[in-house]
Amino acid sequence: MAQMTNKRENVPNMQKPKLIAIAVFDGCQILDATGPAQAFATANALSGRALFDVRLVAAAPGQIATNGGMRLLAEPLPRTCHTALVAGGDEMAVTAAMSDRGLRKWIVAQSKSAKRLGSVCSGAFVLAAAGVLDGRRAATHWAGADTLAKMFPDIAVDRDAIYVEDGKIWTSAGITTGIDMALAMVAQDHGRTLAAKVARQLVVYMHRPGHQSQFSAPLELQSRGGARLERLAAWAEGRLHETLDAPSLAEQAGMSLRNFHRHMKATLNATPKRWVEDLRLARARALLESSGQDLAQIARAAGFSGPDHLIKTFDRRLGLTPGAYRRLHAAKTPLERERRPQ
DNA sequence: CGAGCGAGCCGCCACG
DNA sequence: CACGTGGCGGCTCGCT
């Protein structure tokens, strides 16, 4: 009878709020911390319950200067929590965080005791330095993906993913993808319906379309390949519409096929076919951004066999269609775009 | 959407 | 013997 009058006690999901500890440090990226924090806080607000207890924490608690200049107030690192997250930041700050013994010890401890351990953006480097990403798949900001893979060969770096969940270890890509990851955590704990409501409230996607690589600068890696490959790139870019198979590239580079493969792998971490595809994608992206040509023209100019080949390749590499890419990245102003005939 | 095919990739070893 | 190079062959993966 007492139970009947006090229904609240019977609701199954009345457990204690889950402690979400977001670790910050001087020079960290403010959105890495506040984005996920807001997602969890909005989940509380929309559900009308205290599902999450979100706290900013630091090895050196107190005022934390973010890389944008604003300050955060951080509590001491908690001994235990449900979910431990580590923010990213600029290179100097992350390097310092990577060698912070207190933070490192805390991460190792949380990798055992917490239900989830995660990072946002370059926070992956801090997790990696603590050794908790070894043998795992992981994501980080696209600009840091190659460096992470090189510094920590035991990590399978996913350059495209918005976020990666590998067991209890979660890593997210650049900055705002921390929100995407937090949404997935909300979904894991309290269902997709609530997560979708939070996404709507924050005006973000529940499932963000595409891969993060669509934002990276095409072919920034060319300069790393040395003069030999740079000349080859220039040669190839002049004949993108031709076949450009591996044997002819090797011949042009003055190497055997086998050795050419090795050099591509060693200097650019690429394969001949993949590299040519990179060149063609870069050309197609540039044309989509700044020309009004239709897909057939662009496909031909970039060396694809036709529009469908272009569409397939875009889907596989960037996770969206050429048309969607153009709408996202076209240099035209919104006014110009509206001027098209109805 | 699945099966079959061929180009491409890479482990391995031989060579200088 | 270390190191850079080349060729063979099996296997994978993406296209038709």
Within chain A, strands assigned E span 18-23, 52-58, 62-65, 71-76, 83-86, 116-119, 137-138, 156-157, 163-166, 169-172
Q: Does position A316 have pLDDT exceeding 50, yes or no? A: yes
d(CA A330, CA A310): 17
Residues A28-77 have pLDDT tens digits of 999 999 999 999 999 999 999 999 999 999 999 999 999 988 999 999 99
Q: Which of A55, A219, A29 is nearest to A140 (CA)?
A: A29
Strand B nucleotides in reach of protein CB atoms, 7 A cut-off: 7-12
pLDDT at res. A332:
53
Cα separations (Å) of A156 from A120, A204, A282? 17, 28, 25
Query: Cβ of A312 < 7 Å from strand B?
Result: no
CA→C1' distance for A77 and C13 (Å)? 47
Q: A135 CA to C1 C1', in Å?
A: 34
Tell if A271 CB is < 7 Å from nucleic strand B.
Answer: yes
Whose C1' is closest to the CA of A249: which nucleotide?
Answer: B8
Q: How far apart are CA A20 and CA A181, in angstroms?
A: 13
pLDDT of residue A174: 86
Tokens representing residue A35 in the block: 């984005």
Max Cα–Cα distance, chain A, nearest Å: 88
Interval A293-302: pLDDT, tens:
888 888 888 9
DSSP notation for A101-113: HHHHHHHHHHHHH
Residue type, A210: G
More confident residue, A303 or A335: A303
Alpha-carbon distance of A140 to A234, in angstroms, equals 31
CA distance A123 to A121: 5
**Quick check: pTM over 0.85?**
no
Distance A258 CA to C5 C1' (A): 9
Q: Is the dihedral of CA A152, A170, A126, A174 positive or negative?
A: positive
For residue A342, pLDDT over 50 is answered with no
Residue A262 CB lies within 7 Å of the nucleic strand B: no
Residue A6 pLDDT class (50, 70, 90 cuts): very low
Q: Which two tokens stand for residue A9?
A: 């006690």
What pLDDT was estimated at residue A12? 53
pLDDT band at A323 (very low <50, low <70, confident <90, very high): confident
CB contact set of A291 (below 8 Å; sequence gap of 6+): A298
Q: Which of residues 199-258 of A touch strand C (CB under 7 A)?
A: 255-258
pLDDT at A64: 96
Q: Answer yes or no: is pLDDT of A89 > 80.
A: yes
